[in-house]
Structure 1
Amino acid sequence: MAKAYPAVLLLENKRAIVVGGGSVAERKVKGLLECAADVTIVSPRITEGLQALVRESQCAWKKKCYEGSDVQDAEIVFAATDDEEVNARVFHDATEARLMVNVADRPELCSFYLPSVLRRGSLSIAVSTQGASPLLARRIRLQLEERFSARYEGYVDLLQSVRDTVNGEVAEQDRMAFWEAATDGRILELLEDGDAQAAEVRLQELVSSYSA
């Protein structure tokens, strides 16, 4: 099997089609909505959870069986039905239209895989086995949760808060040294100890010391 090329997709306002209305489709829809995608479900029936999202106008619902024309306006496609024939048709139609497509539990019918993801605010850590064993990916992600605490959310936000300043005030040849110092663990340790103010002061001191 060829190696997969890791990437982070930005799906805000991108048109996503989810074919299927069961629990698996619901998970796909919720994940897409977290990324601000423009989601349309295609299925004769959907779960109560999906119905609630539709009522709240968080996504659209085509209450019908899948047809090839349903992917025409899509930018990314997901198939999550319990009908293998329908899933195969979705894959074929999306591939013909040169669209990215993922068929649940069928890695051979995917142009991309969905990893198990650990999120800490803007920090995302994805684990993938290229469809070989989603359970193993999940187990590894759970181990990573113990290593990367919730404090990383504030840590990444703090680093982001000075990025523009660093790019504007720190000489290009010194920026790598600055980021090495900012991420050497001392600021994170202060956050882990619950001292966010001291962490911010330490980071600002570093910015000042490296500024031109």
Structure 2
Amino acid sequence: MWFPLFINLENKKVLVIGGGKIAAKKIRKILEYGADITVVTEDVAEKGLLQLENIKIESNRKIENDKSKIEKLVKGYFLVIAATDDEELNENVARICDSNGILINNVSSKIKMNAMFGGIVKNDEFQIAVSTGGKNCKRSRAMKSEIQKILDKIEK
């Protein structure tokens, strides 16, 4: 069971490994929270990443699935998002981060990580996160939609 928690990401170092659609989605989700985001990827597949402001992109950089190299890469980061299309690499990054006390979100797994993103619903007054613990994203989206309707009513 996952414990819901809100974290201040302002000026925290966040590493995103991968440059595809899912990486971009995660980056867009946390960008407005003031994180210091670095993206390391062999290829920026999601070209929209290049238009985002306030992120550093290190492209053309192959991420080797080697324990010592991964440890060196993730050292000093508060949160790491493993968002490559290589499930084994993502799991190794997750294992290394977890054993080093680094928050890790692994897009390849619903359980092999220690930090999960909830669906966020907000207005000027409230911020609510919804999660099914990775079990049913469709139901989570439906719940977000219903909560948004309630927030819209309250705001008026």
Q: Which one has the bigger strand percentage?
A: 2
Give the superposition deviation at 1:88.
1.2
Residues paired across the two proteins, number: 148
Are positions 1:41 and 2:39 aligned together? yes
Give the superposition deviation at 1:96.
2.2
Match of 1:129 among 114, 128, 132: 132
One-letter amino acid of the counterpart of residue 41, structure 1: V
Tell me which residue corresponds to 1:62: 58
Are positions 1:86 and 2:85 aligned together? no
Give the superposition deviation at 1:80.
1.1
What stretches of structure 2 of length at least 5 have no aligned partner? 64-68
Give the superposition deviation at 1:150.
7.1
Report the Cα distance in structure 2 between the residues aligned to 1:73 and 1:15, rounded to whole angstroms: 8
Give the TM-score, by structure 2 length.
0.88
One-letter amino acid of the counterpart of residue 37, structure 2: V
The answer to whether the 8 A contact 2:24-2:49 is kept is yes
What stretches of structure 1 of length at least 5 have no aligned partner? 153-191, 193-212
Identity in percent? 27
One-letter amino acid of the counterpart of residue 98, structure 1: G
Question: Larger Cα Rg: Structure 1 or Structure 2?
Answer: 1
Are positions 1:76 and 2:82 aligned together? no
- The one-character-per-residue Cα deviations of 1:140-169 (angstroms, maximum 9, x if unpaired) are 1011111110763xxxxxxxxxxxxxxxxx
Give the superposition deviation at 1:59.
0.5
Give the superposition deviation at 1:10.
0.7
Give the superposition deviation at 1:136.
1.1
Any runs of at least 4 consecutive aligned residues in structure 1 with deviations exceeding 4 A, and if so which?
none
Report the Cα distance in structure 1 between the residues aligned to 2:146 and 2:110, rounded to whole angstroms: 24
The SS at the match of 2:129 is: strand
Tell me which residue corresponds to 2:16: 18
Report the Cα distance in structure 2 between the residues aligned to 1:29 and 1:150, rounded to whole angstroms: 29
CA RMSD of aligned residues (A): 1.5
The answer to whether the 8 A contact 2:79-2:103 is kept is yes
The answer to whether the 8 A contact 1:17-1:41 is kept is yes
Give the TM-score, by structure 1 length.
0.66
The SS at the match of 2:10 is: coil
Report the Cα distance in structure 2 between the residues aligned to 1:77 and 1:150, rounded to whole angstroms: 36
Give the superposition deviation at 1:36.
0.6
The answer to whether the 8 A contact 1:77-1:102 is kept is yes
The answer to whether the 8 A contact 2:91-2:108 is kept is no
- The one-character-per-residue Cα deviations of 1:155-192 (angstroms, maximum 9, x if unpaired) are xxxxxxxxxxxxxxxxxxxxxxxxxxxxxxxxxxxxx2
